[in-house]
Amino acid sequence: MSPLLSVRDLKVSFDTEDGVVAAVSGVSYDVEAGKTLGIVGESGSGKTVGTLTIMGLTRAVNTKISGEALFDGKDLLTSSEQQMRSIRGDEIAMIFQDPLSSLHPFFTIGAQLVEAIQVHRNVSKAAARDRAAELLGMVGLSDPRSRLSSYPHEFSGGMRQRVMIAMALANDPRLLIADEPTTALDVTVQAQILELIADLQRQTGTAMIIITHDLGVVAEVADEIAVMYAGRIVEQASAADLFANPQHPYTRGLLASIPRLDRDRSIGLDPIAGRPPSMISPPGGCAFHPRCPRAFDRCSEELPQLEAVAGSSNHRVACLLEPAERSRKA
């Protein structure tokens, strides 16, 4: 069976006054129907730009896009704006990074949900309201029918995020893209929202892409994980393999910075030293080499390609270190 979404060699760059921003530089991945892909990486690694491009939301005169994004066999990158409008919010839905600005402050939750339904479905207002109430119930809001007449400001951040999820699920999408669905929320609410997302996925069978900078967030919910650094995937594996046998020094750094309840707080987290590079003039060779505790001379000269990790067909890493070196303790 071919995957629901198949992205091949996706490249996105922006022509700006300061120079060309190479936001995504050749990314490939598959999302199987009903499965969850986690895309993980620090700020600026190209996570959002990549998925916005697949949704047709980065098209502009200063944007250069190449590659392929086959959804059900049809290339989204070359689909017309009109075709994309009918796909967005219907077959593919997105929960945006900033849920507060995605809800309109002047309209009730009900009006906004009804609109999201009626854009794509030829149903009566009464039927759309029934569906809206059903959706609010699904995302765990009590007394959903009366909530329809509330305004966004009457809801807490966690409740607004639930409404955004309800809105994304309104038309039973086949693919749901959740961009940092929990960052604006406190830790307990984050955990509840993730549980809700995992639950809804089990119920609806929707395929998902979850974007986050926190590997801990996708540990429980993702089947596959792609780790991005500076516009490229540097490691890709099943979630189980990635946690059991991380290969890239960057992945290992991300793992070390996951807050864990069972760790003594006085030891603290071990964040990766340094900052992500500018995407206008990223470092040559492996873009991670200036921050990499394991870098050696070749790393500044050669761009590592994603290659299979011995012993696992689906685990791939882009790193010049010898395999034995990669898993050695620092």
Could you give the string, one character per residue 170-209, with x where binding to ligand ATP holds by CB under 6 A and - elsewhere?
A: ----------------------------------------
**Which span sits near ligand ATP by CB under 6 A: 41-49, 119-127, 134-142, 302-310?**
41-49
Told to check if 47 binds ligand ATP by CB under 6 A, we report yes
Work out how close the CB of 32 gets to Mg ion at its nearest, in angstroms, rounded to a whole number: 24
> Which is nearer to ligand ATP, 16 or 86 (by Cβ)?
16
Told to check if 65 binds ligand ATP by CB under 6 A, we report no
Q: What is the 3-state secondary structure (H, E, C) of the chain?
A: CCCCEEEEEEEEEEEECCEEEEEEEEEEEEECCCCEEEEECCCCCCHHHHHHHHCCCCCCCCEEEEEEEEECCEEHHHCCHHHHHHHECCCEEEECCCHHHHCCCCCCHHHHHHHHHHHHCCCCHHHHHHHHHHHHHHCCCCCHHHHCCCCHHHCCHHHHHHHHHHHHHCCCCCEEEEECCCCCCCHHHHHHHHHHHHHHHHHHCCEEEEEECCHHHHHCCCCEEEEEECCEEEEEEEHHHHHHCCCCHHHHHHHHCCCCCCCCCCCCCCCCCCCCCCCCCCCCCCCCHHHCCCCCHHHHCCCCCCEEECCEEEEEECCCCCHHHHCCCC
> Which is nearer to ligand ATP, 21 or 109 (by Cβ)?
21
Work out how close the CB of 97 gets to Mg ion at its nearest, in angstroms, rounded to a whole number: 5
Distance separating alpha carbons of residues 51 and 71, to the nearest angstrom: 13
Distance separating alpha carbons of residues 256 and 271, to the nearest angstrom: 7
Told to check if 38 binds ligand ATP by CB under 6 A, we report no
CA dist 167 → 54, 114, 198, 210 (Å) = 20, 9, 16, 17
> Which is nearer to ligand ATP, 23 or 93 (by Cβ)?
23
Told to check if 11 binds ligand ATP by CB under 6 A, we report no
Told to check if 21 binds ligand ATP by CB under 6 A, we report yes
Work out how close the CB of 49 gets to ligand ATP at its nearest, in angstroms, rounded to a whole number: 3
Told to check if 20 binds ligand ATP by CB under 6 A, we report no
Q: Nearest to Mg ion by Cβ — which residue?
A: 48
Could you give the string, one character per residue 14-53, with x where binding to Mg ion holds by CB under 5 A and - elsewhere?
A: ----------------------------------x-----
Work out how close the CB of 24 gets to ligand ATP at its nearest, in angstroms, rounded to a whole number: 7
**Which span sits near ligand ATP by CB under 6 A: 14-22, 147-155, 191-199, 289-297?**
14-22
Residues 48-107 binding Mg ion (CB under 5 A) are 48
The correct pick among 3, 41, 110, 144 for binding ligand ATP (CB under 6 A) is: 41
Which positions touch Mg ion (CB under 5 A)? Answer: 48
Interface ranges with ligand ATP (CB under 6 A)? 14, 16, 21, 23, 41, 43-49, 97, 213, 279
